[in-house]
Structure 1
Amino acid sequence: MILTKPIFTVDLLPKLDEKLIEVLQSLSPQDWEKQSIAPLWNVKDIALHLLDGNIRALSMLRDQYFGVIPESINSYQDLLDYLNKLNHDWVTAMKRVSPKIIIELLTSTGKEYCEYLKTLDPFEPATFSVAWAGEEQSSNWFHIAREYTEKWHHQQQIRFAVGQTAELLTQEFYFPYLETSMRALPHHYRNVEASKGALIKFSISGDGGGDWFIEFDGKQWYLTLNPSQKPVTEVTIEGEIAWRIFTKGINKQRAAKQISIKGNQLFGEKILNMLAVMA
């Protein structure tokens, strides 16, 4: 059975934003300057990036104002370069802004963005596709779920830096992040050859974890529910590092020590390179 079940996160986003405001309000001045696992950003920089996400999305999607338009996007790398420059310019310009103002702006823009997302028909085409899942056209529900993963993992980067990660590793918050991120599996494995019917099982431990399966039909891999055959490979990943693998938050060598693979090792090790972010 091909996995086509939509992931609805629109009602969870306001709760996630509330968690963000809670953690930011708990920070000391020193906490705001702590280095995150994102090499170029400290805690304040990540909070600023989240603010940029709210404002940029409202401007483009709600107000149809696209501001800085790239001259040409001819490849995935062109898109990355464009986004990285936007991110860098924003964070640099906003360094003069205080944490208090950042929290106030995140509170107000977060509410506006969540309200806007609720107005979208979840099954209508989204303005932007989910490129890391290999889609050229995505539905709004997937765009919204992708936005959830962005907000989730950036907040978790902040929490990781200040030692408050447990709040987002629950079934309520972590499982939707993982469920969305694992939609990258078929695209990530697209160049992996296998026998028809080959099945790979991925298990992520912890309260927010679960099991996911991809099967090869002779031409391509696809996500499947309730498989009937035995997997040729079973991969188990520690819940506390899964999100770091999918967001370039841990190197491959360190991550490899915290996963177990039964069966075809090459099939299993491929997961260590998977990204569910634009990076």
Structure 2
Amino acid sequence: MDVRQDTADTADTADTAHDVRHRNNVTVTGDPDGPVVVLAHGFGCDQQMWRLVVPRLAERHRVVLFDYVGSGRSDPAAWDADRYASLEGYAQDVVDVLRELDLERVTFVGHSVSAMAGVLAARMAPDRIAALALVTPSPRYLDDDGYRGGFTQEDIRELLASLESNYLGWSSVMAPVVMGNPDRPELGQELTDSFCATDPAMARVFARTTFLSDNRGDLAGVKVPTLILECAEDALAPRGVGAFVQARVPGSRLVTLDATGHCPQLSAPEATADALLDFLDRARDARPGT
């Protein structure tokens, strides 16, 4: 896969014409002098999904959050269906934010599909991303020979057909499955509300990008310290997926949270924050000059 380097001569002039901070609803909080952590949300979500872990991270880190174009409070005028029909388009959003804020050597934390967007962004901008934390990642949701992504061809076909014919109805059914924790229905309702707040046309493009992408071949190219966070039970990314990613990312570390569902930053925020802070400390200590 040909991924562009982060150099001035490859910058997309159409992107730089936008105010990226407004386009991606960028917010910055925490210690202004601390190491930088960038938090990226998954499909159907926005930066608010991180709100329960941000206070812990912000005590000693500068925390950057944003919404992908087409999500949350991003600028809908910046939407481009062709750009966001591939995961590289979302990775470019990441790189644009890092450039706009002139950030280097950050730790990128990507949830769900954002984990693979982070893998691509780290290749696009190797001087800007120094570490990756992949939260419930999946490089491919579709099963393949010798690989269990969790979904058959028929599963994906039905999922996308249902989403495209009745997005709101699909959201009300799918979001609680993704969230898990049926004994805590408020969590499923929050994710349902987040899904339903997304423009259906934009959500359809993002969904196809999410569920049809195959980034298994990109994992071996990761050159930075990497944490993989999985949940003990996850309907969207089965346990074997985390082990698959860990085996293919050189030197990576896999941590299994005692949590249920695909969104541990909401269902198990303390455990998620603990794991991220431990990784951030390890990554900091491993850097030259620290």
* Structure-1-length-normalised TM-score: 0.26
- Larger gyration radius, structure 1 or structure 2: 1
Of Structure 1 and Structure 2, the greater strand share is in 2
* Structure-2-length-normalised TM-score: 0.26
